[in-house]
Copies of this chain bind each other. A is one copy, B any other.
Amino acid sequence: MNKIFALVFVFVSVSTLAAERPFGLVLHGGAGVIERTSLTPAREAEYRAKLTEAREGGYAVLERGGSALDAVVAGIVILEDSPLFNAGKGAVFTADGTCELDASIMDGRTQAAGAIAGVRHIKNPITLARAVMEKSEHVMLSGDGAEKFAKQQGFELVPNEYFQTEFRRKQLEQAKQREAAKKTSSLLPADHFERVARYGTVGCVALDRSGNLAAGTSTGGMTNKKFGRVGDAPIIGAGTYAHNATCAVSATGWGEYFIRVGVARDIAAQLEYRGTPLKEAAAATIRKVGQLGGDGGVVAIDKAGNIALPFNSAGMYRGWRLSSGSAGVAIFSGE
């Protein structure tokens, strides 16, 4: 009888513990000048459906006891595979008319990290970033070298055409026309167009049932990109950061400002060094970006399962689901 009581007690305790340990994830599909007037209802519905699919894909991993890393990769792969977002298929075009992809990932448990910059034939860049983290002695590989490593690791290389879509080709043409026009006239209104078309990133942060945090980010960079420009997405500490002691962050926006502020690390540093709550820290860092003249946003989750999704642009594609029951997808400001 005592034995049965003890067993029941252990069972109840374990269940309570499992139920009490929060888990969940937040993801983004890019931030920028996303206005209600510029999205048709059909297109908006497509975005919401894909964000929901990615959110559920990642959450399912966590729910069945999978790792934060696995959840982050699962969520990001769904967004990379969709032509709606500027990552993987549907990436924006460089000035040369090709797609070049960057990605990074960080494991909050070990502070291991992996990043790739400027690859052209990797279907899911986030999986190569993970391979760099887990299978190489390096953190960051770039260009042809990164693809050589991918081949060694048995990655299938896809033709660059796989990533290319008509929509993005038109954006490149518009960007080039605009650039040419700018040289002859300074009267054109500022870069409203550029901010719509040029940036975009996907990313995901997760907290798993074991209390491990992870963050990942993937992007096609910026339309009409030149000179081998590298943005914040593959920069650990700027676009991506995770540490079990604090939080996991993935950023999206005007990469140059995000590098200068070191956005992802700056948020975690406020938690680490002065115990600032996540929401407050994330908002403060986005204010810093704004003060320098940049825009964009982040998704973040801390070790207690609190989340933050601040942005100072007109919109940010985003989704979240937590074990507490809170879940949603949103695009515009104020949603």
Contact = CB atoms under 8 A, between A and B. Distances in A.
Interface of A: 106, 111-113, 117-118, 136-146, 148-149, 226-231, 235-238, 241, 255-256, 259-262, 265-266, 269-270, 272-274, 276, 292
- Please indicate which of the listed interface residues A142, A144, A236, A237 has the most CB atoms of chain B within 10 Å of its own CB: A237
B138 A256 contact: yes
B230 A117 contact: yes
Contact of A262 (B142, B146, B236, B274): B236
A148 to B, nearest CB: 6
Contacts of A235: 140, 235-237
| Count of this chain's copies in the oligomeric assembly | 2
Given A142-B142, A230-B117, A235-B237, A262 B262 contact: yes
Contact of A145 (B141, B148, B228, B259): B228
A138 B265 contact: no
B112 A230 contact: no
Contact of A148 (B148, B227, B261, B270): B227
A259 B139 contact: yes
Nearest to A132: B227
Shortest beta-carbon contacts, A-B, top 10 = A145-B228, A269-B269, A273-B273, A145-B227, A237-B262, A142-B228, A140-B230, A149-B227, A237-B237, A273-B274
A119 to B, nearest CB: 10
B140 A229 contact: yes
Contacts of A259: 113, 139-140, 236-237
A142 B230 contact: yes
Contacts of A255: 139
A197 to B, nearest CB: 15
Contact of A237 (B112, B117, B238, B292): B238
A327 B266 CA distance: 33
A164 to B, nearest CB: 20
A155 to B, nearest CB: 13
Contacts of A144: 228
Contacts of A149: 226-227
Contact of A227 (B111, B138, B238, B256): B138
A99 to B, nearest CB: 15
Contacts of A276: 273
5 contacts: A118-B143, A140-B230, A142-B229, A235-B236, A262-B265
Nearest to A288: B111
Nearest to A112: B260
